[in-house]
Structure 1
Amino acid sequence: MTRIPGVILAGGRATRMGGGDKGMLQLGGAKLLDHVLARLGPQCGELAISANGDPDRFSAFGLPVLADTLPDFPGPLAGVLAGLDWAAENGADAIVTAAADTPFLPRDLVARLADAAAQKRVPIALAASPDETGAPRRHPTFGLWPVSLREDLRAELSGGLRKIVLWTERHGYATALFAASPFDPFFNVNTPQDMMRAEAILNGGAA
């Protein structure tokens, strides 16, 4: 079976880290994006980066850079749509997305998302992990998305939709629940304190 393409959502600006692309921040001698690629790459077929602005800043990665196809930066779903358009051009049936600031994402993310969608017989799957109370917390930037829904998504975004879960609930989705011990694999770097914690996870060998 052809492996599912992966799209890294790198549109977040590191406003709490001094600005710029969060995926370009250094962790353990490598960029956050390098860590994401090292984990997601072996799980996927082709890879692409979803980001706006000058694509040349990502040239060192040697991957396609997908700009939003809709104006006014409507958020992560626009990145999903750009990824679906790219996948359609390449004859793929679906994509898996991951965030560029999450260096410890699961090494079995793609397989678990695909299994969850197949078992529930729904087109979309989202990742989740337990919150402080043990309840599942969804991570909607980590999802399996079918190319067949791209025109529906385009129409919804053009109509003002911005929240991922509103759209996924409309079509039906499965949840793949990942353990949050010894750390939450969807931990993302937003602040200098988060970077210190990421360094501690990396140096602790638990990642």
Structure 2
Amino acid sequence: MKTAGIILAGGQSRRMNGSDKALLPFGTGRLIDHIHQRLARQLPVLALNTNNDPAHFRDLGIPIIPDEIAGYAGPLAGILAGMEWASTQSDGFSHILTVATDTPFFPDNLCEKLSQQIADAPDRIVIASSAERIHPVFGIWPISSRGELRAWLADDENRRVMSWIAAHPHKSFEFPLTTTQTDQPIDPFFNINTQEDILEAQKRWTPST
């Protein structure tokens, strides 16, 4: 089994007035820079799924892949785009690991822990959870299901990630809360949806996170 990392940044950011969350200032750069660096510590081969201007992301030095399904069909379209891209690579990928671009503190051992859950069942979908809450776009997906997913998305009613997951063998892995330097608990899947969220995330950021 071999896994490629896919950063999902294909959404419309409606609650951010349409601004691309990936380009928000964060830490010493942009939010996408932080996400890219965090995932690159876990996997050597990455790609970015976005439907916005690829020129904004060329400095990352990774492939930029748009959705193949028109009309902002949601995270499943990005997952499919990642599967299709990975299937064309010469590395022999069997799976993709997806992360969201608006979740800057996702675990440094995300790939390791989720990969352990497919060691005995490579056709299984494995997704992350924390505080007993599922985070369905943080998962490992078998590339072999891309044809079925493409057909599934041909129906405009099939857009919910959890509906796709529920129809297939799957498992979740619970990640613990982490703590700040002041011993305050943080959900590692804290995500940014509003201007208030980005301010909160910037407060929590340190060079070690």
Normalising by structure 1, report the TM-score.
Answer: 0.90
Q: Which amino acid aligns with 1:80?
A: I
Q: What does residue 128 of structure 2 align with?
A: 127
Q: Return the match for 1:202 from 189, 196, 205.
A: 205
Q: What does residue 182 of structure 2 align with?
A: none
SS at match of 2:7: strand
Q: What does residue 104 of structure 1 align with?
A: 105
Q: Is contact 1:126–1:176 with CA below 8 Å preserved after alignment?
A: yes
C-alpha separation between the residues in 1 aligned to 2:63 and 2:27? Answer: 25
The answer as to 2:165 corresponding to 1:168 is yes
Q: What does residue 138 of structure 1 align with?
A: 134
The answer as to 2:42 corresponding to 1:46 is no
C-alpha separation between the residues in 1 aligned to 2:128 and 2:133? Answer: 8
Q: What is the correspondence of 1:43-82 to structure 2 with a 5 Å cutoff?
A: 43-82=42-81
Deviation at 1:122, TM superposition (A): 5.0
Deviation at 1:120, TM superposition (A): 6.2
Deviation at 1:17, TM superposition (A): 3.1
For residues 123-178 of structure 1, the C-alpha deviation after alignment (integer angstroms, 9 at most, x for no partner) is: 21000000xxxxx1111110100111000100101123101111111111111111
- The runs of 5 or more residues in structure 2 that have no matched partner are 179-184
SS at match of 1:101: coil
Instruction: Give % identity.
Output: 41
Deviation at 1:40, TM superposition (A): 0.8
SS at match of 2:205: helix
Deviation at 1:71, TM superposition (A): 1.6
Q: What does residue 133 of structure 1 align with?
A: none
Whichever structure has more helix as a proportion of its residues is 1
The answer as to 2:89 corresponding to 1:86 is no
Q: Which amino acid aligns with 1:185?
A: P
C-alpha separation between the residues in 1 aligned to 2:35 and 2:105? Answer: 7
SS at match of 2:102: coil
SS at match of 1:107: coil
Q: Which amino acid aligns with 1:157?
A: L
The answer as to 2:186 corresponding to 1:190 is no
Q: Is contact 1:66–1:83 with CA below 8 Å preserved after alignment?
A: yes
